[in-house]
Amino acid sequence: MSVPQTSALATEPALLRDLAVLIVDSLNLEVAHAEIDPDAPLYGEGLGLDSIDILELALVVSKNFGVQLRADDANNHQIFSSLRSLANYVAAHRTH
């Protein structure tokens, strides 16, 4: 399964905002959701998430959007590379 690189839905401000709010709220981050750069890395230097954060985020995204995210998916690094990349994946695979 390949990860879509672009999607009209993923650039929709509402989806980016909803995911940013979900990230901040579910991980109790001390950053405003509006301050998350959609193209900045979620790991390390960008938002500073670690593997445990990503696992927790995957569970919350799965629950809220009906998206199947598996820990052993070879595309996880790409899916969680940025907010925009995550939004692209959610837009392409969401069930609700």
The tens digit of pLDDT for each residue in 34-79 reads 999 999 999 988 899 999 999 999 999 999 999 988 888 889 999 9
End-to-end C-alpha distance for the chain, whole angstroms? 20
Residue 25: give its domain's CATH number: 1.10.1200.10
> Does the residue 6 lie in any domain?
no
3 falls within a domain: no
Tell me, yes or no, whether 1 lies in a domain. no
- In 3-state terms, what secondary structure has residue 41? strand
- The number of domains in the chain is 1
pLDDT beyond 70 at 8: no
* Residue 64 belongs to some domain of the structure: yes
Residue 80 lies in a domain: yes
In a domain, 67, yes or no: yes
pLDDT higher than threshold 70 for residue 17? yes
Query: Does any domain span residue 78?
Result: yes
- Domain ranges, residue 61: 13-93
In a domain, residue 37? The reply is yes
* pTM for the model: 0.85
With a cut of 90, say whether residue 28 has pLDDT above it. Answer: yes
* pLDDT band at residue 10 using 50, 70 and 90 as cut-offs: very low
Q: Binning pLDDT at 50, 70 and 90, where does residue 11 land?
A: low
